[in-house]
Structure 1
């Protein structure tokens, strides 16, 4: 029997997970008035951070928002 090792990052996000990510994305896009192209990049960053274990909204905003510094 082959034993499979699964990575938590490979698990699908739940609707609750997506709600957290969406909330952070909405806050940051409004704060920085981002064009769609930049918002899509930011969404990918937020999801990646979430998959890596950052589930606190404020921590997600802080870490993903750091990629936007200098835009205001």
Structure 2
């Protein structure tokens, strides 16, 4: 009954979800030449999780969107 009141954003991520996010994160770290322990990497990780929760479930799209969000135009 309570499920109808919860959005998809409120559900916990399972191991498959986290694996997909991890692959997007790892690919983006290589592309942006970031180390895993940098502040920028933490921001990228948080952004990837947020994008995933918002419905972006394609690994490549996650990396593209998260990578572009931090760049200045």
Please state which band the TM-score falls in when normalised by the shorter chain.
Answer: 0.7 to 0.9
CA RMSD of aligned residues (A): 1.4
Tell me the residue number matched to 2:63.
61
Tell me the residue number matched to 2:15.
15
Task: List, as ranges, runs of 4+ consecutive aligned residues in structure 1 with deviation greater than 6 Å.
Answer: none
SS at match of 2:13: coil
Q: Does 1:25 align with 2:41?
A: no
State the shift of 1:66 in Å. Answer: 0.4
Question: Which has more radius of gyration?
Answer: 1
What does the per-residue CA deviation read over 1:40-68, in whole Å, with 9 as the maximum and x for residues that have no partner?
00000000000000001111111111024
> What 5-or-longer segments of structure 1 have no aligned partner?
none
Task: State the number of aligned residues.
Answer: 68
> What 5-or-longer segments of structure 2 have no aligned partner?
none
Deviation larger for 15-24 or 60-69: 60-69
Q: TM-score, normalising length from structure 1? A: 0.84
